[in-house]
């Protein structure tokens, strides 16, 4: 049976841009300056066709993300998921996360090499 892919689902409507996920990842993985498992990026502000302004913070996951394999193996949530006070990041199988996508401001990340 094929291995079930795991991923991270971000609901960036609720991301406050606090960067706690970045800090948690760097600390748990001993990453140095300029190294990130997750990096929070600001998009905007943009003016929409209806005249209103919009700005979002969106976490992006890079090559150093190993989905917190050691933490998960011991029954814990990935560090970024655990430390996000907005509950904006979920961990799970790609299949179960994909079923939770029900609006535009969500993004599903599937890391390489798992």
Footprint of ligand SF4 (CB under 6 A): 15-21, 24-25, 28-29, 37-38, 40, 57, 59, 61, 65-68, 78-80, 84, 86, 88-89
**Residue 71 CB, nearest distance to ligand SF4 (Å)?**
7
What is d(CA 49, CA 52) in angstroms, rounded to the nearest whole number? Answer: 7
Beta carbon nearer to ligand SF4, 16 or 47: 16
Find the radius of gyration of the CA atoms of the chain: 15
DSSP labels, 7-23: EEEEETTS-----HHHH
Closer residue to ligand SF4, CB minimum distance, 53 or 87: 87
Are 9 and 101 in contact by the 8 Å Cβ rule? The answer is yes
Q: Toward ligand SF4, which CB reaches closer, 29 or 92?
A: 29
């Amino acid at each position: 049976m094929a291995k079930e892919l795991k991923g991270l689902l971000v609901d960036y409507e609720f991301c406050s841009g606090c960067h706690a996920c970045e800090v948690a990842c760097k600390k748990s993985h001993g990453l140095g300056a300029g190294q990130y498992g997750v990096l929070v990026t600001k998009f905007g502000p943009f003016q929409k066709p209806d005249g209103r302004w919009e700005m979002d913070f969106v976490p992006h996951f890079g090559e150093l993300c190993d989905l917190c394999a050691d933490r998960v193996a011991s029954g814990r949530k990935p560090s970024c998921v655990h430390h996000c006070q907005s509950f904006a990041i979920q961990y799970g199988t790609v299949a179960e996360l994909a079923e939770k996508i029900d609006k535009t401001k969500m993004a599903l990340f599937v890391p390489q090499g798992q």
